[in-house]
Amino acid sequence: MKLLNTRALVLRSQPLGERDRLLSLLTWERGKLSAVAPGARKIKSKLAAGVDYFTCGSFLLHQGKSLYTVNQLEIETNFSRIGENIKDYAYGMYFAELAEKLLEEGESYPDVFDLLLSCWGHLLDKKADRDVLARFFELRILSILGYHPHFQDCLYCGDQLGPFFWNYSSGGVFCGKCRPGEEVVFPFSRGTHALAVRLLSLFPGKIANIRAADLQKKELQDFTWHFLQYWTAAGHLKGLSFLAKVNNSEGDKKAGNAPE
């Protein structure tokens, strides 16, 4: 009998038949994997409380031919209070969806595990600016997965003063002299450039100290979203549509009508 005892984060949890739930887990030892939580849809199930979004737990998994089965679990940290605010919920879901889309099965990603755990913690803590936190999450997961955007100087001549420009295919920034003439480029304000450099090297515990102007956040968001599509082919991210909807609605509400 193949058993795996591992810390895991619940990236996705969906109903499977009348009784069970199908989970996408980010495990410490084996990275992303799918697991059935038998009976977890039943209120009296011992597994029910630990198979929701925003859970970090110790899971005992049985490895079957195509899927794992959850035998036991012990909740380590329950971030479910993230769901009390619909904006926090939308950001937390987006982080989990991005991790699930970008990670390959069968590889271990302890740095992504720590990143997601830390960013869920910041959502709960509510001290960090959510948009800055989202850009931090995007830039850092890209960097961990080998798509480190080159921000610190011009890709061609090494100029560090800027102002800088980026285009979809470059993977980094150019100064005004070296910007490719034949391709569409987008300007980065100096503040946005400084924000990007800072986020790429920041200790996660310091994210709550970072504030940014709306223009900087918008420019960096345009960059990361285009960069994600161009370099990782992340495809349609439901979390982004949900985030846009939530950010366009007024005020911070409870997550009443959030999608499963």
The site that binds Zn ion (CB under 5 A) totals a number of residues, namely 6
| 185 scored as a contact of Zn ion (CB under 5 A) | no
Token output for 9:
């984060």
Residue 110 or 171: the one with the smaller Cβ distance to Zn ion is 171
168 binds Zn ion (CB under 5 A): no
Quote the CA–CA distance of 215 and 220 in Å, as a whole number. 9
What residues pair up with 5 in beta bridges, in sequence order? 60
Q: Which candidate, 200, 248, 241, 243, places its Cα nearest to that of 220?
A: 200
Which of 109, 174 has the CB closer to Zn ion? Answer: 174
Sign of CA dihedral 191, 225, 94, 59: negative
Q: Which is nearer to Zn ion, 114 or 159 (CB)?
A: 159
Both tokens assigned to 188? 């980065």
Q: Please select the residue that binds Zn ion; options are 157, 213, 215, 244, rule is CB under 5 A.
A: 157
Q: Does 172 sit near Zn ion (CB under 5 A)?
A: no
Q: What is the distance between the alpha carbons of residues 15 and 143, in angstroms, rounded to a whole number?
A: 33
- In the list 28, 147, 156, 230, the residue contacting Zn ion (rule: CB under 5 A) is 156
Q: Which stretch binds Zn ion (CB under 5 A): 67-75, 92-100, 112-120, 169-177?
A: 169-177
129 binds Zn ion (CB under 5 A): no
Residues 72 and 239: beta-carbon distance below 8 Å: no
Query: What letter would DSSP give residue 147?
Result: -
Alpha-carbon torsion (222, 225, 228, 231), positive or negative:
negative
Binding window for Zn ion (CB under 5 A); candidates: 40-48, 150-158, 189-197, 245-253: 150-158
Residue by residue, DSSP assigns 104-130 as PBT---HHHHHHHHHHHHHHHH--S-H
Minimum separation from the CB atom of position 185 to Zn ion (A): 12
By CB under 5 A, name the one of 16, 144, 178, 200 that touches Zn ion. Answer: 178
Should residue 175 be labelled a site residue for Zn ion when binding is judged by CB under 5 A? yes
**What string marks each residue from 75 to 114 as x (binds Zn ion by CB under 5 A) or -?**
----------------------------------------
The residues that touch Zn ion, with contacts defined as CB under 5 A, are 154, 156-157, 159, 175, 178
